[in-house]
Amino acid sequence: MPRSIVPLSGRCNRRGYRSRSKAALPEQRQETLILSISTLRDALTEFGIVLRGGPYQTQRWETAYGMADAALKRSDGVTIFLYMDGVYNALAPQDFESMKKLPKDHIEALLDRGAQIFACLTCTDNRGLEDGRAYLKRVQVTGSTEAGEMVSKCDRIINL
């Protein structure tokens, strides 16, 4: 089955906040809580990383991981768009005996921590990767047009 094509929508960071029942809190406390959450949201930075480099040949994939890891540690939002040869990073069947951490391991680790990772559909098909059938399951395939939408919604863009 071909993978579904996922359009991007909303903020690039879709991490949610758990809602609590307002009825359990006095009105003034509710206002304080809402203000605190609002302030926290404003304080977070949305990082968008466009990763154009494939694995191994350059350091780009490792730099992307280093920045994304640091951003997530600071509770910032991270969205990675795999573009051009960057789509190879998302392939699930990777093997490199002498490397402790492969690109797919970094991607899985970032996904586990709340990063969103998308791969360009056109780049995928251009490379014969058949709609990304061999990608890690949680990597979403989307159009490059939607990538522009992602870029416009992030606070900082890093083009690797």
Partner 1 sequence: MTVYLVDEPFVDIAIAYAAKDSTAQIVLLQDAVYSAAHMRASGPVYVVADDIARRGLSSRMPPSVHTISYDELVAMMERERVVNFL
By CB under 8 A, name the binding residues for partner 1. Answer: 45, 47, 58-60, 63, 66-67, 69-71, 73-74, 76, 156-160
Query: Do 53 and 86 form a contact (C-beta atoms < 8 A)?
Result: yes
User: CA 126 to CA 136: how far, in whole Å?
Assistant: 18
User: Taking the CB of residue 81, how many other CB atoms lie within 10 A of it?
Assistant: 29
For partner 1, give the closer residue by CB, 76 or 105: 76
Residues in the chain: 160
* Shortest separation between residue 90's beta carbon and partner 1, angstroms: 20
For partner 1, give the closer residue by CB, 64 or 107: 64
* Shortest separation between residue 2's beta carbon and partner 1, angstroms: 33
For partner 1, give the closer residue by CB, 5 or 96: 96
For partner 1, give the closer residue by CB, 76 or 125: 76
Query: Do 47 and 74 form a contact (C-beta atoms < 8 A)?
Result: no
Give Cα 135 distance to the centre of its chain: 14
* Shortest separation between residue 85's beta carbon and partner 1, angstroms: 15
Local structure of residue 135 (DSSP, 8 states): B
* Shortest separation between residue 49's beta carbon and partner 1, angstroms: 11
